[in-house]
Structure formats: C-alpha cells, structure tokens
Amino acid sequence: MAIVLPGKLETLRVAIKIDSALNCSPEDYAKYTETLDESLLGLSPGDEPTWFIMRKVLPFALSKKVANEQAGMKDGEVQINISFISEEVRCALVDIINPASVPIDQHILHTKEKDGGTSFALMEQLVSADVVNDLYRAREAITKKKTEGMKKK
C-alpha cells in the first residue's frame, strides 16, 4: 500500500454565505462547505460570487505558526485555543477573485504580511464580517477528505 500526497500548490476556491450572488438555503450552504459542490450555491446564470482561494497544504513555516496557536500552557496545564482558526485561514488564503460586475474600487484586495500569510488588516475585516469560520470549515472538510483518500488501494 502507498500514499499519494497532495501537491503543495493545490488550491480550492470557496464562496461565503453572506455573498449576495448565492441563492441557497442554510442547509445547502452547509452541504456546500462539506463538499464544495458549487451546484448547491444556487447561482443564477451569469452571477458570480467572490471566490476565496485557499491552499490545501500550508508551507511548513506557516503550519508551525498554526500549530503554535492551537495549544499553550496555562497554570501547568495544556490549554486548547480556538484562535488557531483565524491563523489557519490567514496562512491558507492566497488570493481573492472578485466578480467582474463589482467596481474595482469595491474589490476585496488580498494583501500579505512578510511571512507570506494574509495581512492582519484583511483578517480583521474578514473576522468582523464573520466569514472566517466558513472559510475554515470548507478548507477543513476538503483537506480532511483528501487526507482520508491519500491511501492508495
């Protein structure tokens, strides 16, 4: 038996539930975040959402940052931190594709920090818009399925 590893340049694209181009039920959106089946989004012909492009595999230096955010010590005990979700999205997000119908001055611009992760300013905007968890869930579901499918039969 062998394993097949995902390429480090593989990406996935995610639409977020607050996008006005989406015309789907909360249940269909939940299914979408598990499968990334775009037919569940209920897009009208010619309507395009904003796409968030995310890495499937984090570069090692960035994955160490995520791991460091996941757990810490407090009063001699290991403490799990959920703040790693934002850090994982910050490290995984590599681009944002804005629809052609959106004026350029209203585009969401993807900017980076020196470490290669998404800028803290953009992350603050994404956190305040309450979309980080959607991005995390979609990436987590797809990468988990990819990991389960790595075993070659």
| Average pLDDT of the residues in 94-122 | 93
pLDDT at 125: 95
pLDDT digits (tens, 9 = 90+) for 86-103: 888 988 999 999 999 999
Strand (E) or helix (H) holding 26: helix 26-35
Q: Are 136 and 53 within 8 A, CB to CB?
A: no
**Cα 13 to Cα 5, 32, 33, 52, 80, distances in angstroms:** 19, 12, 11, 5, 28
pLDDT at 150 over 70: no
What are the boundaries of each domain within the chain? 11-147
**Residue 63 and residue 83: Cα distance in Å, rounded?**
14
- Flag the least confident range among 22-31, 33-42, 83-92, 128-137: 83-92
pLDDT at 24: 94
pLDDT digits (tens, 9 = 90+) for 50-62: 999 998 877 656 6
